[in-house]
């Protein structure tokens, strides 16, 4: 059995008349990089604050390192939080900020000095110890916040959209830095973000949240390849949704009727003939070919081309009510108004477990 760093059981939380969390259950394994992903207002920050101990759940239980912690005050939890706006103490120097947690543990001065030095080294801020926070850049402040949180060696580090205030370049740099830090420290990271790209590239596993519920938990690949609901498919990457009805079923292969069109799919779960079904088809899984190509699935008219650097996005109308988004290499000479064939592997079509969410 896996050892869990943090376990949430059926957590619910209301603020006044608004339900913020409803039956949230999560198990975060020791040493993993776990992300809570969702749009703003989905409850991810509240979940993090419940783990940190700043909010107490209305119902449900929190376990930290296997020990019940639902009512443990934040001071006594073996978790540290990196705040969204860093929350650095403005009247203390970088060194004093980092030393704060160690001073609260009443460690000897020499030990504090040594560990502060090591933490600053780890976040590559050695030499800036005597500066005040306002004398640092945003990226440097971020590193101070990290050093302050890791210096007390918590078993779990909570990060609340820590890169939200940084520009793109710095963001990408800090993403790598955070991964390196997590590897070197070997502690559990729980990372809150609304940026799906960030969650996919950094996490070992992630939970997608929406309206106070966890919709799906899994590795980035599982979630991207097998989105459980329409919301997950829409939130993570781009998707085409095909609504249809199963017309034929044999083995794991089925034929789905979508309007006047038909396509083959491969399904892991049993389907029934005549059952309504929603299929997800990622734009990059569709190939464009000549309209007369033999293994084409459908044909359509290119309505629109959107240039996006290395990629080109095509809007292809396949029937009066259905247009698909296709992405492909930009230099293939296709122009608007052209008639094209579309082809894909039946395995690329993923049925959603719910019809809509």
CA dihedral 29, 35, 37, 43 (to 10 degrees): 70
Q: Is 337 one of the binding residues for another protein (CB under 8 A)? A: no
Number of H helices and number of E strands within the chain? 8, 20
> 45, 46, 47, 80: which one contacts another protein (CB under 8 A)?
80
Measured in degrees and rounded to the nearest 5, phi and psi for residue 279 equal -110, 145
Rounded least distance, CB 132 to another protein, Å: 5
Bridge partners of residue 27, in order along the sequence: 7
Residue with smaller CB distance to another protein, 73 or 276:
73
Q: Is 90 one of the binding residues for another protein (CB under 8 A)? A: yes
Rounded least distance, CB 5 to another protein, Å: 17
> 17, 91, 169, 294: which one contacts another protein (CB under 8 A)?
91
Residue with smaller CB distance to another protein, 69 or 81:
81
Q: Is 353 one of the binding residues for another protein (CB under 8 A)? A: no
Rounded least distance, CB 11 to another protein, Å: 19
Q: Is 17 one of the binding residues for another protein (CB under 8 A)? A: no
Exposure on the CB side of residue 157, measured as CA atoms within 13 A:
27
Size of the site for another protein (CB under 8 A): 23
CA distance 332 to 11: 52
Rounded least distance, CB 100 to another protein, Å: 5
Q: Is 241 one of the binding residues for another protein (CB under 8 A)? A: no
DSSP state of 357: -
Instruction: Give residues 32-61 in contact with another protein (rule: CB under 8 A).
Output: 52, 54
Query: Are 291 and 340 a contacting pair, CB within 8 Å?
Result: yes
Distance from first CA to last CA of the chain, Å, rounded?
A: 32
Rounded least distance, CB 160 to another protein, Å: 10
Q: Is 18 one of the binding residues for another protein (CB under 8 A)? A: no
Instruction: Give residues 136-155 in contact with another protein (rule: CB under 8 A).
Output: 148-149, 152
- DSSP labels for 42-105? SSHHHHHHHHHTSS--SEEEEEETTEE-TT--GGGSSEEEE-TT----TTS-HHHHHHHHHHHT
Bridge partners of residue 68, in order along the sequence: 63
Residue with smaller CB distance to another protein, 103 or 114:
103
Task: Catalog residues that contact another protein under the rule CB under 8 A.
Answer: 52, 54, 73-75, 80-81, 83, 85, 87, 89-91, 100-101, 104-105, 132-134, 148-149, 152
């Amino acid at each position: 059995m896996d050892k869990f760093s943090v376990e949430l059981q059926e957590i619910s939380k209301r603020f006044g008349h608004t339900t913020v969390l409803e039956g949230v259950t999560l198990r975060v394994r020791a040493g993993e990089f776990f992300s809570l992903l969702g749009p703003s207002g989905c409850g991810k920050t509240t979940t993090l604050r419940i783990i940190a101990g700043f909010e107490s759940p209305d119902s449900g239980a929190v376990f930290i390192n296997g020990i019940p912690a639902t009512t443990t005050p934040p001071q006594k939890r073996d978790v540290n939080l990196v705040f969204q706006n860093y929350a650095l103490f403005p009247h203390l120097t970088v060194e004093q900020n980092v030393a704060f947690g160690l001073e609260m543990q009443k460690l000897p001065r020499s030990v504090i000095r040594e560990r502060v030095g090591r933490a600053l080294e780890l976040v590559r801020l050695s030499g800036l110890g005597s500066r005040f926070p306002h004398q640092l850049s945003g990226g440097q402040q971020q590193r101070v916040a990290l050093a302050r949180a890791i210096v007390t060696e918590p078993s779990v580090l909570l990060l609340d959209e820590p890169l939200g205030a940084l520009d793109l370049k710095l963001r990408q740099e800090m993403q790598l830095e955070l991964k390196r830090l997590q590897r070197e420290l070997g502690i559990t990271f729980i990372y809150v973000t609304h940026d799906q790209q960030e969650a996919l590239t950094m996490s070992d596993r992630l939970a997608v949240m929406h309206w106070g519920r966890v919709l799906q938990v899994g590795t980035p690949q599982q979630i991207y390849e097998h989105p459980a609901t329409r919301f997950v498919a829409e939130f993570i990457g781009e998707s085409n949704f095909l609504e249809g009805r199963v017309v034929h079923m044999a083995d794991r292969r089925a034929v789905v009727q979508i309007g006047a069109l038909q396509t083959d799919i491969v399904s892991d779960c049993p389907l029934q003939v005549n059952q309504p079904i929603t299929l997800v088809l990622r734009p990059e899984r569709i190939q464009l070919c000549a309209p007369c190509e033999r293994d084409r699935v459908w044909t359509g008219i290119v309505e629109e081309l959107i240039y996006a650097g290395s990629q080109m996005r095509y809007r292809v109308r396949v029937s009066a009510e259905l247009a698909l988004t296709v992405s492909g290499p930009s230099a293939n000479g296709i122009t608007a108004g052209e008639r094209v064939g579309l082809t894909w592997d039946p395995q690329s079509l993923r049925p959603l477990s719910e019809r809509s969410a």
